[in-house]
Structure 1
Amino acid sequence: MSRRRVITRFAPSPTGPLHLGHAFSAMTAFDMARAHGGCFVLRIEDIDRSRSRVKWEREIERDLAWLGLSWPRPVVRQSDRAPAYREALLRLAERGLTYACICNRSDIREAAAAPQEGAPMLGPDGIVYPGTCKHADHPYEGSAIRLHMDRALALVPEIAFEETGAAGTGRIALDAEHMLRMIGDVVLARRDMGTSYHLSVVLDDSAQSISHVVRGLDLFDATPIHVLLQSLLGLRSPIYHHHRLIRDDTGKRLAKRDDARSIAAYRDTGATPADIRRLVGLPSAS
């Protein structure tokens, strides 16, 4: 491990119940921090105001406490951090690294499927944006804001980060060609949120001095975006630990709709925190 103080986090969205996959991620982060005399923090990622609910936030805290986890208070909520997101977007815009986009999902699918474009490429956010609005002059107000990847990579030609999880151990590096072809001009602010997962998670991890980001392998492909933004914004990159995913009996990754596997359901039927640890393959808490 790095000599930095180990600070890990669990950052759920309060849009439904926690399931076994969430429990595994939270306990893995908590165990890592505890093993190194560090700190585990909870962050509520509630930028999706249309789906976030206070009742789920309360249930999340209840479930985590029942599992034996503890964290400092007050808890950081993304809905309170809009000024920080706006300031970062302004800094990037002043350097010519963003542009306004008015495309909806249907527009993107049609543009990416055009004969001259070839088969659409899929990246961390779905279809890699074909650049329809890149050379337009749309107003920022009421538009999504995208990262101008070409210009960003001219400033940061290589993206590298340290990984300690299931994706491999050591330094992982990606070149500009990969970033352009497989990721493209990602959204930094959605028109109905004022930010995006990519931007907010980078700023929040820095603000909370997160040293080790513990999260599922499904987010591994988003990591180069986050490392690029960290470099552009002058932020220190954490160490990343992408863990295995918890799946159902058919091999499908668990989702919040899997209420039958929610932590609350296990608790209500008499399971113990030790039972949950055994179910997800973690050692007993000492």
Structure 2
Amino acid sequence: MLNDNATAKPSLAPPVVRFAPSPNGLLHLGHARSAVLNTRFARSRGGSFLLRVEDIDTTRARPEFEAAIFEDLAWLGLEWPTPVRRQSEHLADYEAALTELRKLGLLYPAFLSRAEAADRVRAIDASGGSWPRDPDGVPHYPGDDRALSDRQRTERIDAGEPHAWRLDMQAAVQNLDGALHWDEHGAGPNGETGTLAANPAMWGDVKLARRDIPASYHLAVSVDDALQQVTDVIRGEDLFASTSVHRLLQHLLGLPSPRYHHHSLVCGSDGCKLSKRDGATSLASLRQQGATSDDILALAGLAQSA
């Protein structure tokens, strides 16, 4: 498991790592753990630590949360080059990737609403069937829209019908010329490490864009890491399974694959990972209560010195 004394295979060039929070809430101890592990890894190897702002979801991103992220990280003693990359300023990069996938015939417009898809799944489950689910437990998209003709798709889009853009996973996997792998220097939830086989099909037809958000996390992070020349992705083990999708997108788009280091999470008293959505205690709140940066490192399960 990656920690502040973690090692990796020698690299000819200094590593480039990144911490990429979303400004839709305040940072908590889990964020502190990941950010500090990233910066220590870079510092110990003469590399670079980048800060990226994942504000692609403009309906939830707030400038006050971005300012709070900068303040929290600086308080922890972290430094990064400026200007930072804000996803909202690089929409053309994601559209270019989507265009490439369309040219490959691997994207289709998905018109079923979330409620319609859920109703379909419930009907199958109620009849005794077993609908496939992704590693997060979310049912696969039914995928009926894959069978629509180009004319039908165009007519519905031109009529203004809401839709997302999904990856035709079956076609994408058939596009592979061999097995996909990634280089894991941390460990997955079950201790997986080393050269690991990717299995993107377990995610079904993943959403890559929707009308109100021009790129999904999966697409944006794959494009951003390549454009920023990130060599080592250091992140929580909750994103371990997502690596399979990222490796597939890297392959399809001709992007380099970084090394991956998945680390253990900071969990609450209920044993679950901390989450903004669940109201995890923020770093700002802990600081207001008198906590020092060393206190935060201890609470995040890190030694106080690199």
Taking structure 1 as the reference length, the TM-score comes to 0.93
Q: Which moved more, 1:100-109 or 1:39-48?
A: 100-109
Task: Figure out how many residues of one structure are paired with residues of the other and give that number.
Answer: 282
Q: Name the Cα RMSD after superposition.
A: 1.7
The residue aligned with 2:99 is 90
Structure 2 residue 218 is matched with structure 1 residue 198? yes
In 1, Cα distance between equivalents of 2:265 and 2:90: 29
C-alpha distance 212-11 of structure 1, shift in aligned 2 (>3 A): same
SS at match of 2:97: helix
Structure 2 residue 147 is matched with structure 1 residue 129? no
2:274–2:280 contact (8 Å) kept in structure 1: no
2:110–2:143 contact (8 Å) kept in structure 1: no
The residue aligned with 1:103 is 112
Letter in 2 for 1:68: G
C-alpha distance 31-149 of structure 1, shift in aligned 2 (>3 A): same
C-alpha distance 108-258 of structure 1, shift in aligned 2 (>3 A): closer
The residue aligned with 1:172 is 196
2:131–2:139 contact (8 Å) kept in structure 1: yes
Gap runs ≥5 in structure 1: none
SS at match of 2:240: helix
- Out of 23, 26, 29, the residue aligned to residue 20 of structure 1 is 29
The residue aligned with 2:255 is 235
In 1, Cα distance between equivalents of 2:128 and 2:228: 42
SS at match of 1:274: helix
1:19–1:259 contact (8 Å) kept in structure 2: no
**Once the two structures are superposed, what CA deviation does each residue of 1:131-188 show, in whole Å capped at 9, x if it has no partner?**
12111142356421111112211222422101111313201103xxx533x2111111
1:16–1:56 contact (8 Å) kept in structure 2: yes
Letter in 2 for 1:219: L
The residue aligned with 2:181 is 160
Letter in 1 for 2:237: L
Letter in 2 for 1:234: G
**Once the two structures are superposed, what CA deviation does each residue of 1:71-126 show, in whole Å capped at 9, x if it has no partner?**
01001000011001111111110110111111111122222334379222221562
1:19–1:254 contact (8 Å) kept in structure 2: yes
In 2, Cα distance between equivalents of 1:256 and 1:203: 25
The residue aligned with 2:129 is 118
**Once the two structures are superposed, what CA deviation does each residue of 1:206-242 show, in whole Å capped at 9, x if it has no partner?**
1111111111111111110000000000001011111
C-alpha distance 2-145 of structure 1, shift in aligned 2 (>3 A): farther
C-alpha distance 275-201 of structure 1, shift in aligned 2 (>3 A): same
1:20 to partner: Cα distance: 0.4
In 2, Cα distance between equivalents of 1:2 and 1:200: 28
Structure 2 residue 275 is matched with structure 1 residue 255? yes
SS at match of 1:261: coil
**Once the two structures are superposed, what CA deviation does each residue of 1:229-282 show, in whole Å capped at 9, x if it has no partner?**
000000010111111111111212111145562111111122111111111111
Letter in 1 for 2:179: E
In 2, Cα distance between equivalents of 1:169 and 1:94: 35
Work out the percentage of aligned pairs sharing the same amino acid: 45
**Once the two structures are superposed, what CA deviation does each residue of 1:19-70 show, in whole Å capped at 9, x if it has no partner?**
0011011111111111111011000000111110000000000000000110
1:6–1:211 contact (8 Å) kept in structure 2: yes
The residue aligned with 1:188 is 208
1:24–1:280 contact (8 Å) kept in structure 2: yes
1:111–1:132 contact (8 Å) kept in structure 2: no
Letter in 1 for 2:304: S
In 2, Cα distance between equivalents of 1:71 and 1:253: 26
The residue aligned with 1:68 is 77
The residue aligned with 1:277 is 297
Q: Which moved more, 1:48-57 or 1:114-123?
A: 114-123
Letter in 1 for 2:39: F
Gap runs ≥5 in structure 2: 1-8
